[in-house]
Amino acid sequence: MTTDRIVLKGLRARGRHGVLPAERELGQEFVVDATLFLDTRPAAAGDDLTKTVHYGELAEALVKVVEGEPVDLIETLAQRLADVCLESPLVSAARVSVHKPAAPIPLPFDDVVVTIERRRA
């Protein structure tokens, strides 16, 4: 696997994901970390944005997923986000973490996180 990485960390968006009716009705903030694995040498050699991933456009695409169609599980949300990360043929693999800091847990906790890693087939 290529060792170069582009990391987008702490991307925040409001979504209506979860199994409880209140989660669907009220929504809550989700935080996304995405790591893309790719070879950045061609972009660096020519100082050429077209030979890498535009992280601003990636952020916008990921937020659309979080704000979009609700799902029950953050595992499903993570998979959808990973699919977006792998849309660029330059990306060989992606690691996505979905944080749900306001998960409906009746005990003190800091965060709930699901992390997945997907490779291009």
pLDDT digit string (tens) for 2-55?
A: 589 999 999 999 999 999 999 999 999 999 999 999 999 999 999 999 999 999
Tens of pLDDT, residue by residue over 49-76, are 999 999 999 999 999 999 999 999 999 9
Q: Is 100 a catalytic residue?
A: yes
| Residue from 9, 51, 64, 100 carrying the catalytic annotation | 100
Query: Quick one: pLDDT at residue 121?
Result: 80
Q: Token pair for residue 40?
A: 């950045």
Does residue 1 carry a pLDDT above 90? no
Domain span including residue 27? 5-119
pLDDT at 52: 97
Encoding tokens for residue 111? 């965060």
CATH classification at residue 111: 3.30.1130.10
Q: 67: which DSSP letter?
A: H
Q: What total of structural domains would you count in the chain?
A: 1
**Torsion angle (degrees, nearest 10) of CA 56, 80, 19, 109:** -60
For residues 79 and 66, give the distance between their C-alpha atoms in angstroms, rounded to a whole number.
Answer: 11
